Amino acid sequence: MSRCSLVSLVVMVALCPAPGRADEPIVPKDAPIKLFNGKDLTGFYTFLQDSKYEDPQDVFTVKDGILIISGQELGSLNTKNRYANYHLVCEFRWGKRTWAPRETKTKDSGILVHCFGPDDAYGGIWMSCIEAQVIQGGCGDFILVCGNDPG
């Protein structure tokens, strides 16, 4: 399995536009844009390995102002809009549970930025992008996730 295969926690995609969007990216003007409202997933869509644009297992939920990612299924949470000239700030903590096939391995996730192409470009699950690695004991690497989109 390649290092780019993220399997313990589901990948949270913070700044990946919906595929096929031709509109100009949103650029902050007078004040920061808060992507996450702390109440629900307005402004985002899911792309999961088995259920694609649906989330029947509630892999992504919001509770008490916090985004909770169960990791039960591989996939991503993507912004519906495109953004430019951004400064992304986030915090994370690991949950207690992991899922097969990584029950006894390090927890592994990532934040994908500058995404392009189809949702399933890499491994049938992720867009082509730059990943900021979030892996237990080794956060901070940047990984190029190369998909099958020739662009």
User: pLDDT tens, 65-94?
Assistant: 999 999 889 999 999 998 888 888 888 898
Q: Which residue has the tokens 């916090």?
A: 66
User: pLDDT tens, 90-144?
Assistant: 888 988 888 887 888 888 899 999 898 899 999 999 999 999 999 988 898 999 9
Whether 149 and 116 have beta carbons less than 8 Å apart is answered as yes
Whether 115 and 147 have beta carbons less than 8 Å apart is answered as no
User: How is the chain split into domains, by residue range?
Assistant: 1-151
Q: What pLDDT, on the 0 to 100 scale, is given for residue 80? A: 93
Name the pLDDT band for 45 (thresholds 50, 70, 90): very high
Euclidean distance between CA atoms 16 and 34, whole angstroms: 15
Distance between first and last Cα of the chain = 25
Q: What pLDDT, on the 0 to 100 scale, is given for residue 130? A: 93
Name the pLDDT band for 149 (thresholds 50, 70, 90): low
Point out which residues pair with 130 in neighbouring strands.
Answer: 113, 144
Q: How many residues does the chain have?
A: 151
Q: Is the pTM of this model over 0.85?
A: no
Residue 11 has pLDDT above 80, yes or no: no
User: pLDDT tens, 17-35?
Assistant: 555 555 788 888 888 888 8
